[in-house]
Amino acid sequence: MPDSRRFEDRGELGRGGMSIVRRVFDREIGREVAVKSVVPGADGVTDELIAEARTVGRLEHPNVVPVYDVLRDPAGDQMIMRVVEGRTLATLLHEEAEAPVLGLRLEQLLQIFLKVCDAVGFAHSRGVIHCDINPRNVMVGTHGQVYLMDWGLAVVRSTVDHEHPPEDAPSVGGTPAYMAPEQARGRFADIDERTDVYGLGALLYEFLTLRAPHAAATAREALASAWRGSVRAPEDVVPDRMVPAALSAIAMRALAVEATDRHPSVVALRTEVEEFLRAGGWFAAASFPAGARILHEGDPSDVAYIVTKGRCEVSRTTASGGRTRLRIVGPGEIFGEVGLVTATPRLADVHALTDVTALVVTPAALERELSRSGWVRAFIAAAVARFAELDLAQRGD
């Protein structure tokens, strides 16, 4: 403990295998601080504690807990930090029994994720690679603050020589269930920003499955899984849940075995997740070959489609029994929307003129997209209903 004349011990905040964090009141300044020190008997760790303090000291960012001071003491050095009131991301994530693959809860987690990306991206701009991103190392404060914690295993870029790694290169640490393959294989010279991309992908993966990518009964088994690098797709892990296809694809790219197959930077990964949040990422995708009949006139309607690639023809039967083309639908356009809102039978056929890829909009998915704005939902429902009424009137039905 620091000098008791200045500091008043107020209990333990947490501990790991090598360190302990205590809540302490600083009488000189009149505030509570967190004091991190080495667990008694953990030889050789004090230098790592000081190295961590110096690493975090160069990362002045809203999503990195600031270090106030380092106290040198023959009995053991201490690092003085801000106290964070809140819970870990692991606690938030597992407070419910099912994976938050849909809805507002997943969106809230993704907003936390974006802030973690901000911290990691800033660290990379300062030449620091975290190397131990996992839900237990993310703290969410009582007022929405997000902090990426525990930089004790961070690698400073200047120590990584990809061409001529030193013979005495430090061992590569981390949490086995979340490790990138290059970490599990002990390839220190291969550590770079894409190692943290893997860790961020592991967060997304656990959002979708409530499992770490290399979850196993023992640390040895988890390490072996990380060494192999193969990860089951989220939709295979939770087959009974409707996993957002776009977010699953983002996570699996970040978790690629080879670093060259991952997102090239945290900024690129963050951008994809932002686009998912903005652009209908909740929707599954479907493909149809040229000539396929996608919708059948008169059939029950339960989905609509947003074309992302290709062209379709919308047509229907005339009063004389012939066919009339209504319109051509291309990328960014929608078909099947009337039945989605009104539950009326299909008003037309839709055929694929070319190979077509489209997002599948179900009532549940549409409800998720509109859940944050009730007036928009009402407006869309009323507009589509009026269109259906007009269409029926024009056909003389």
Given a cut of 50, whether residue 44 has pLDDT beyond it is yes
Interhelix angle 103-125/266-278, nearest 10 degrees? 160
Which of 203, 215, 139, 206 is closest to 177 using CA atoms?
215
Split at pLDDT 50, 70, 90, the class of 274 is very high
Pick the CATH number of 7-82 from 3.30.200.20, 3.10.20.30, 3.90.1560.10, 3.40.50.720: 3.30.200.20
Segment 2-34, tens digit of pLDDT: 677 888 989 888 877 677 888 999 898 899 999
- Confidence (pLDDT) at 168: 44
The label of the residue with tokens 């086995």 reads 176
Given a cut of 60, whether residue 117 has pLDDT beyond it is yes
C-alpha distances in angstroms, 43 versus 7, 47, 151? 25, 10, 19
Distance CA 292, CA 294 (A): 6
Six token digits for residue 325: 């083309």
- For the chain, what is the HEC assignment? CCCCCCEEEEEEEEECCCEEEEEEEECCCCEEEEEEEECCCCCCCHHHHHHHHHHHHCCCCCCCCCEEEEECCCCCCEEEEECCCEEEHHHHHCCCCCCCCCHHHHHHHHHHHHHHHHHHHHHHHCCEECCCCCHHHEEEECCCCEEECCCCCCEEHHHCCCCCCCCCCCCCCCCHHHCCHHHHCCCHHHCCHHHHHHHHHHHHHHHHHCCCCCCCCCHHHHHHHHHHCCCCCHHHHCCCCCCCHHHHHHHHHHCCCCHHHCCCCHHHHHHHHHHHHHCCCCCEEEEECCCCEEECCCCCCCCEEEEEECCEEEEEECCCCCEEEEEEECCCCEECHHHHHHCCCCCCEEEECCCEEEEEECHHHHHHHHCCCHHHHHHHHHHHHHHHHHHHHHHCC
Given a cut of 90, whether residue 367 has pLDDT beyond it is no
Instruction: Say whether domain 284-395 belongs to CATH 2.60.120.10.
Output: yes
* Residue 74 C-beta-side C-alpha neighbours within 13 Å: 0
Query: Mean pLDDT, to the nearest integer, of 89-113?
Result: 84
CB atoms within 10 A of CB 367: 11
Segment 193-228, tens digit of pLDDT: 999 999 999 999 999 999 999 999 999 999 999 999
Segment 47-68, tens digit of pLDDT: 788 888 889 988 999 999 999 9
Pick the CATH number of 86-278 from 3.30.2420.10, 1.10.10.10, 1.10.8.350, 1.10.510.10: 1.10.510.10
Q: Give the start-to-end residue ranges of the domains of the chain.
A: 7-82, 86-278, 284-395
Six token digits for residue 314: 């919308």
Q: Which residues on adjacent β-strands are paired with residue 7?
A: 26
Distance CA 57, CA 72 (A): 16
